[in-house]
Amino acid sequence: MYWHTFHTTDDAAQALARAVAAELSKRLETQERVTVAMPGGRSPVAFFEALSCETLDWSRVTVTLVDDRLVDESHEDSNAGLVRRHLLQNQAAAAAFWPLVTEPSNPKADIARLDKELPEIDLVVFGMGEDGHAGSLFPDAPETDEGLAENNPHAAIIVTPPNAPHQRITLTLARLLTAEKLYLAIQGRAKAKIVQASGWALTGRWPISYFVQQAKAPLEVYWAP
Ligand SMILES: O=C1O[C@H](COP(=O)(O)O)[C@@H](O)[C@H](O)[C@H]1O
């Protein structure tokens, strides 16, 4: 795990945007297309807006999500809606978008589609909740053990968090760890403590610990107090 500390959340967002843009550009030198999975929630807005202004060949980039809620894209809690409003604009308007949820009332159809067609993911940018949830792998959701199983053959699962709004679709740990590089964007001391403690304990109590403790892909943490 590589820890990058910034004075403000805006500094962290700008630096993360530059790092992700540089990594996308580097990969586009040797790959025809690059796919990046993005976080949702409330905090990625500044990062998305900064990244959308970076100059690179966005027409060869596919953007997808780490997780989304089973709501229409027009709903304020839709992660796809957030990406469309704040990332797929400016230079990044040329990127292709691969939503996880296309039929909120029929998530099984989306799971089948994702299993069959989701492109290989090169980079992942995560956020994390104050309970240590990563994507929508929540510590208290009944499906989380399945989502964290190393040998889970599915790209994504349906999750029903008992203490957070909306049923969700989230990519599985197994699928996320096929990426070659992981970035984690977090703010505040409470989240920093969980990530640091995750270095000592691999536990379903903090699903993020499965990403902190793996050795497949470097995890770059971007943090501001
Ligand atoms: O529910 C979710 O929460 C996490 C954390 O969101 P944040 O606004 O506290 O950073 C997010 O990473 C995830 O994608 C989202 O669906």
93 to each of 53, 84, 97, how far by Cα in Å? 10, 9, 10
Q: Which pLDDT score, from 0 to 100, does residue 13 have?
A: 98
- ipTM of the complex, rounded to two decimals: 0.98
Alpha-carbon distance 123 to 177, whole Å?
A: 10
Ligand 1: residue whose CA is nearest its atom 15: 41
List, for residues 2-40, the tens digit of each pLDDT value. Answer: 999 999 999 999 999 999 999 999 999 999 999 999 999
**Average pLDDT taken over every residue of the chain:** 97
Is the pTM here over 0.90, yes or no?
Answer: yes
Mutate to test the pocket of ligand 1, among 16, 36, 42 (most ligand atoms within 8 A of CB): 42
% the chain with pLDDT above 90 = 98
pLDDT confidence of 67, banded at 50, 70, 90?
Answer: very high
Find the 96 Cα to ligand 1 centroid distance in Å. 22
Question: What is the average per-residue pLDDT within 78-84?
Answer: 98
Is residue 79 within 6 Å of ligand 1 at its C-beta? yes
| Residue-level pLDDT at 59 | 98
Closest ligand 1 atom to residue 185 Cα is: 10
Q: Express each pLDDT in 110-158 by its tens digit.
A: 999 999 999 999 999 999 999 999 999 999 999 999 999 999 999 999 9
Instruction: pLDDT band for 213, please (50, 70, 90 cuts).
Output: very high
Q: Is 115 helix (H, G, I), strand (E, B) or coil?
A: helix
User: Is residue 147 in contact with ligand 1, taking CB distance under 6 Å?
Assistant: no
**Which ligand 1 atom minimizes the distance to the CA of 129?**
5
Residues 6+ apart with CB under 8 A from 76: none
What are the structural domains, with CATH classification, of the chain? 2-224 (3.40.50.1360)
Torsional sign, CA 21, 124, 178, 220: positive
Q: Determine whether the shortest distance from the Cβ of 66 to ligand 1 is under 6 A.
A: yes
